[in-house]
Every structure is written in C-alpha cells, then in structure tokens.
C-alpha cells in the first residue's frame, strides 16, 4: 500500500512550492492542525497525515513489532516524503512527533530542510538532574489506568493535556479524539511515547530546528523544552505565553507567527 494511503495523507497548496509536513501527537490525528496549517497553504505545499492506527489511517497496516519503537513511525515519515518526491521538507511535529521527526532526520538528513518541534520532550521520565515531568511510577500508573479503564483514562487525561479549563470545548475535543482511538493501539503508542529516551539522538540532528514551548505545560514542562534546545546543534527557541500541551488549538495565532518567523529567518 502506498504511504499516502496508509497514512491518510492530504496535500494542499501550490505544486512546486516548499513543503511543510505536519505530524500530530499521541491520541490525536491530523485534524489537530486545522487552525494552523491553512495559514501556510498560499506559500507552501502542505502535507497532513495520520500515524498508523490514528485518524483515517489504514489500521490494518498496524504491526505491534514495527511500532514498538518510535523508529517505526519515523520510517513512515521517510516513506511519505520519498513517495511524494517532496524533499527536502520542513517537518512540523507536535509532542511525540517531535522525536519521530528527529529520528527521521537523523536517518535521512537529505530529506529535511528544517524541523519545527512543538512541545518536545526527549524523555518524559525524570532521571538524575534531568527533568522530564514524570516519575517512573507516574508512567506505570498512567499505563495501568489505560489498561483498566480506557474511557475513564481519556476523561481524566484530556484536561491535563489541553490545560485550558476555561475552554471546555477544547478539552471535550481532545477527549473525543482519545476515545476514537483503538484502545490496544493507543496503549502501545502511550508506552512507546512515555518510555522512550531520545536524549542521545539530539546532537545528531544536522538541520536547523525551532523549539516551540508553551510556558505552562504539565506534559512537556519548560525544563524539557530547554533540554531539547540546549542539545540540538542548531536550535531557535520560542516560548509561547500559552497554557497546555496543544498550542495549535489553544493559541493558533502565536503558533502560526512563530512558525512563520522561523521559516522566514
């Protein structure tokens, strides 16, 4: 099956223009970029896609062994860019997709011009002086909660991810997105996401990157974003005065401005 079909890719914008590939985070799909991606369609060829197992992707293509590591998702990105004959591209990743983009760039740097990392974390679990925001027992409890009551987990975690308690529609949207996911696939993706450690990968990135950090984010706190910034060879850093882990929904205007400024720099 073609990567565009497997990943439910959509392509807009003028042919021959520079390419932006938008990748969503855990528990979401490409619809999470609907307030940001259209702002670039006049000047860029915009590619949106769903990770296998999410959104409108081909769920039958999901293989637990292939996707037991983030490298499996990175291989999909490479397949997609190659199939579209689109490289070098700017890859815009959110949450766990930031590290998927990092791994794809390390594997095939010729396919990437720039990286935009929205809410990145190279490791979610605290270790020594490193602050990821969670203890190992926190992650154990999160995964156990998904095992015992996935719908209950979705209801309790959506407010933490979104952060904007004063906008219940955004929280409800994220909860619905969690609930649409296949619980078995979501559980494995959560384990891969929250137990991965990509700190050693950061210095191997050769392209310029923008680290886009929310000021108040309990999923990827400031310390995690600063770590990513400090360990990438060529990093720009923008802090959004935003709450939560999904600024593309809660603060689309500043998110667009930050990405646009980086692309023009």
Question: Among 95, 121, 177, 196, which one carries the catalytic annotation?
Answer: 95
Question: Among 24, 51, 94, 245, which one carries the catalytic annotation?
Answer: 245
- Burial level of 204, CB count in 10 A (0-12/13-18/19+)? middle
Structure tokens at 62: 């999901």
Ordered per-residue pLDDT tens for the chain, 265 residues: 899 999 999 999 999 999 999 999 988 899 999 999 999 999 999 999 999 999 999 999 999 999 999 999 999 999 999 999 988 999 999 999 999 999 999 999 999 999 999 999 999 999 999 999 999 999 999 898 888 877 777 777 777 777 655 667 777 776 676 656 788 898 899 999 999 999 999 999 999 999 999 999 989 999 999 999 999 999 999 999 988 898 998 899 999 999 999 999 8
CA distance 96 to 119: 8
Of 233, 261, 217, give the one whose Cα is nearest residue 95: 217
Specify whether 51 is catalytic. no
Question: Among 24, 29, 217, 250, which one carries the catalytic annotation?
Answer: 217
Specify whether 245 is catalytic. yes
- Burial level of 145, CB count in 10 A (0-12/13-18/19+)? middle
* Per-domain boundaries in the chain: 3-264
Which CATH number is 3-264 given?
3.40.50.1820
Specify whether 24 is catalytic. no
CA distance 32 to 48: 10
CA distance 187 to 68: 11
């Amino acid at each position: 099956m073609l990567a565009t079909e497997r990943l439910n890719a959509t392509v807009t914008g003028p042919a021959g223009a520079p390419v932006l590939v938008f990748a969503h985070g855990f528990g979401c799909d490409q619809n999470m970029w609907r307030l940001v991606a259209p702002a670039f369609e006049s000047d860029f060829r915009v590619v949106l896609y769903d990770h296998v197992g999410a959104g409108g992707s081909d769920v039958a293509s999901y293989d637990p062994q292939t996707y037991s590591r983030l490298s499996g998702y990175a291989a999909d990105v490479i397949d997609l860019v190659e199939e579209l004959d689109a490289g070098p591209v700017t890859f815009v990743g959110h949450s766990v997709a930031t590290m998927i983009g990092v791994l794809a760039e390390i594997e095939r740097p010729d396919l990437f011009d720039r990286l935009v990392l929205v809410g990145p974390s190279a490791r979610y679990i605290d270790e020594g002086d490193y602050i990821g925001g969670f203890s190992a027992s926190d992650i154990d409890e999160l995964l156990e909660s998904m095992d015992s009551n996935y719908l209950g987990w979705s209801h309790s975690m959506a407010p933490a991810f979104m952060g904007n308690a004063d906008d219940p529609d955004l929280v409800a949207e994220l909860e619905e997105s969690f609930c649409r996911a296949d619980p078995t696939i979501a559980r494995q993706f959560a384990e891969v996401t929250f137990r991965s450690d990509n700190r050693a990968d950061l210095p191997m990135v050769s392209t310029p990157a923008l680290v886009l950090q929310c000021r108040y984010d309990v999923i990827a706190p400031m310390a995690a974003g600063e770590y990513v910034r400090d360990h990438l060879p060529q990093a720009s850093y923008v802090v959004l005065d935003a709450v939560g882990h999904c600024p593309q929904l809660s603060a689309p205007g500043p998110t667009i401005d930050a990405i646009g400024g980086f692309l023009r720099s």
